[in-house]
Amino acid sequence: MIVKELTVPLKLQAVQCLEKRMLSTHPQYPHILNDLAKRRAGYYGERTLCYYFRQLPSTSYLFHNLRLEQHDSTFEMDVLILFPTFALLIETKNIVGEIHFDSQFGQLIRTWNDKKEAFPDPIAQVRRHQSLLGDWLLQQLGFTVPVEYLIVVSNSSTIISTDPGKSYLFKQVIHANKLPLRLRELETKYRNTIIDTAYLKKLSRKLMKEHTEDEYDVLKKYQIQEDELIKGVRCPTCHFYNMQRRKGRWLCLNCGKSDRLAHLEALHDYWLLVSPIITNSKCRDFLQIDSPFVASRLLKSLNLAESGTLKGKRYHFSKKMMLIQEKR
């Protein structure tokens, strides 16, 4: 059973928005593009595994991108699967080329197009998660649950290697198509039920309750000032930021197309990039409109929570805003 579905991570959405609203001449632009490619690859890599997860037994409980706190530190697991007999952590890697697990220096080295690039060691990361999750489960249940882990390389053409004498790592680092086989091996290894169905359900609810979304200040991360962002409403057809509000619609001065709801994307960008709270004047500035009445009407139409009165009125974005934008 999939308890927590895979969704486009907030960090990926934020970097996507940032890329759209930056001039390609900005010194940080290549860095943003590079990070965006990595985040997209990570997300698509995890998505390709969903095919195998559909074949899991109905007694298992699966969570994508669960973020928990233990011993005052937070950890986010790509995939957690709870079986009645053990728990399994899966860290996905979607990296093209040849990847080498350097056990001596605890690094992952990727060679691609004759270039070498170092990535953080996913084995060290998942072992940390294994230990924290083990402690979290012990605290909840009062007994130890075996926690296994796998690093799944989603791209079947990626060549995986490690240092001589370390080939045992290949039990833990596998290509996606080996996942069903490894799962069967683990199910054979752990035969004794330690958490019954009723308790697994209860534990799942607890896990969902304890999950917290990561706060992500994307402008701070890339040291970009708010006024460096491209302002205005983007045309859904030609993608130019050159739309003007005319008679209740947005008209593109570049291609001539009009749209009734083009401001939704801009407000969604504001929320992800700048702040979860917006005022009338901030809205006018970001959407590049003059009329406080139009700004007020647009903000009111979103049915956001409000605080303050008159000129100090603040509108609070919520998850609902994200859904409105996703439907577009």
Got the DSSP string for 28-44?
THHHHHHHHHHHHHHHH
Report CA dihedral (222, 226, 232, 233) to the nearest 10 degrees: 50
Q: Binder to Zn ion among 194, 255, 302, 324 (CB under 5 A)?
A: 255
Q: Which of 8, 14, 12, 17 is nearest to 234 (CA)?
A: 17
Q: Report the 10 Å Cβ neighbour count for 37.
A: 11
Judged by CB, which is closer to Zn ion: 9, or 232? Answer: 232
Q: Which two tokens stand for residue 170?
A: 């290949």
The DSSP symbol for 263 reads H
Comparing CB distances to Zn ion, the nearer of 45 and 232 is: 232
CB of 251 to Zn ion, least distance (A): 9
Q: Compose the 232-251 pattern: x for residues touching Zn ion by CB under 5 A, - for all others.
A: ---x-xx-------------
Q: What is the amino acid identity at position 16?
A: Q
Distance, C-alpha 198 to centroid of its chain: 30
Between 167 and 186, how does the x/- string for binding to Zn ion read (CB under 5 A)?
A: --------------------
Q: Which of 74, 139, 254, 307 binds Zn ion (CB under 5 A)?
A: 254
Site residue total, Zn ion (CB under 5 A):
6
Nearest approach, Cβ of 255 to Zn ion (angstroms)? 3
- 94 CB-contact burial (10 Å; exposed 0-12 / middle 13-18 / buried 19+): buried
Residue 230 or residue 238: which is nearer to Zn ion going by CB? 238
Question: Closest approach of Cβ 256 to Zn ion, in Å?
Answer: 7
**Shortest separation between residue 282's beta carbon and Zn ion, angstroms:** 25
Q: Minimum Å distance from CB 236 to Zn ion?
A: 8
Burial of 293 (0-12, 13-18, 19+ CB in 10 A): exposed
Q: Is the alpha carbon torsion for 124, 125, 130, 136 positive or negative?
A: positive
The residue (of 53 and 250) whose beta carbon lies closer to Zn ion is 250
> Is 69 in a helix, a strand, or coil?
strand
Give the one residue of 252, 267, 272, 299 binding Zn ion; rule: CB under 5 A. 252
Q: Which is nearer to Zn ion, 202 or 246 (CB)?
A: 246
Q: Smallest gap, in angstroms, from Cβ of residue 152 to Zn ion?
A: 42
* Candidate segments 3-11, 135-143, 230-238, 299-307, binder of Zn ion by CB under 5 A: 230-238
Q: How far is the CB of 274 from Zn ion (least distance, A)?
A: 24
Cβ distance 301 to 264 under 8 Å? no
Site residues for Zn ion per CB under 5 A: 235, 237-238, 252, 254-255
